[in-house]
């Protein structure tokens, strides 16, 4: 069983002054390696990382909280030595998925929480797989791994989850935050328009694959037969 004690065994390493979701994935892979006895495998290989994590999360929803915490800790490193619009965009990167997860938890929507977690992990895997595979230079030689924008894909995945699961009116603030976060990356000269567009498409696509509309079951129909008699009824929960 996953415990806080096992989490403490993980040594987190960060690159100074840079948000590293790639680093987050590596750190979480180390965590899974420490839990190899729980998984029943001899070694957690990077190629099996996402599949293994899905299996753990199906059994223990608290793992999702651990995943989010790992990710937030990594993202917090990007706040150092930044100011203004870029810092606000970094805050949006954390706020958007936390808000989406919080809504699902407050509604006690376990299915929605699981759907969000699958979309979140798929989005991160696709986004940073493309970053490493393409290794596009950022504008004005501001680094590499530009395509697609991770900030944009993450925030749009969160906003589109709220939209798809709970309705458009609830997602308006999240879409506004996602749009601002995308703008902050352009303003900071970290991405061009194609990076931003690709990030938004990947984020929304990750949501559409797993997320269904939220249905509250207010009425339940019943039908019974006994000795040639037929009985139909219903119960309604207010």
Local structure of 31: helix, strand or coil: helix
CA distances from 25 to 46, 122, 154 (A): 9, 12, 14
Q: What phi and psi values does residue 148 have, to the nearest 5 degrees?
A: -90, 180
CA-wise closest residue to 164 among 179, 175, 153: 175
The most confident of the ranges 5-14, 62-71, 128-137 is 128-137
**Residue 90 belongs to domain spanning:** 17-210
Is 194 within the bounds of a domain? yes
The set of residues, in sequence order, having a beta carbon less than 8 Å from that of 190 and lying 6+ positions away, is: 138, 139, 142, 143, 146, 149
Is 225 within the bounds of a domain? no
Is 51 within the bounds of a domain? yes
The end-to-end CA distance of the chain, in Å, is 38
CB atoms within 10 A of CB 14: 16
Q: How confident is the model at residue 115 (pLDDT cuts 50, 70, 90)?
A: very high
Is 181 within the bounds of a domain? yes
Is 152 within the bounds of a domain? yes
What is the average pLDDT value for the chain, to the nearest integer? 75
Q: What is the pLDDT of residues 7-48, one digit of tens each?
A: 444 333 333 333 445 555 555 555 445 544 444 444 444 445
Is 189 within the bounds of a domain? yes
Tell me the CATH number at 116.
1.20.144
Least confident interval from 14-18, 87-91, 155-159, 171-175? 14-18
Local structure of 225: helix, strand or coil: strand
Is 78 within the bounds of a domain? yes
Overall number of domains in the chain: 1
Q: What is the pLDDT of residues 90-109, one digit of tens each?
A: 999 999 999 999 999 999 99
CB 71 within 8 A of CB 21: yes
Distance CA 159, CA 178 (A): 7
Is 94 within the bounds of a domain? yes
């Amino acid at each position: 069983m996953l415990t806080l004690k096992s989490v403490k065994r993980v040594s987190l390493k960060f690159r100074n002054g840079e948000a590293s979701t790639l680093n987050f994935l590596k750190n979480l892979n180390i965590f899974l390696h420490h839990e190899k006895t729980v998984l029943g495998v001899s070694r957690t290989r990077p190629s099996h990382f996402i599949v293994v994590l899905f299996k753990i999360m199906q059994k223990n929803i608290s793992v999702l909280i651990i995943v989010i915490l790992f990710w937030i800790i990594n993202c917090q490193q990007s706040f150092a030595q930044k100011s203004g619009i870029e810092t606000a965009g970094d805050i949006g990167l954390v706020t958007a998925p936390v808000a989406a997860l919080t809504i699902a938890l407050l509604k006690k929507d376990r299915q929605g929480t699981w759907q969000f977690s699958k979309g979140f992990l798929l989005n991160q895997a696709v986004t940073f797989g493309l970053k490493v595979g393409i290794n596009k230079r950022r504008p004005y030689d501001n680094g590499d791994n530009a395509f697609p924008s991770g900030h944009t894909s993450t925030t749009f995945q969160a906003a589109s989850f709220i939209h798809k699961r709970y309705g458009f009116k609830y997602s308006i603030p999240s879409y506004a935050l996602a749009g601002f976060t995308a703008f902050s990356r352009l303003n900071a000269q970290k991405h061009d328009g194609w990076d931003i567009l690709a990030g938004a498409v990947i984020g929304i696509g990750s949501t559409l694959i797993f997320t269904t509309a939220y249905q509250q079951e207010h009425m339940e129909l019943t039908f019974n037969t006994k000795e040639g008699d037929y009985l139909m009824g219903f119960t309604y929960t207010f």
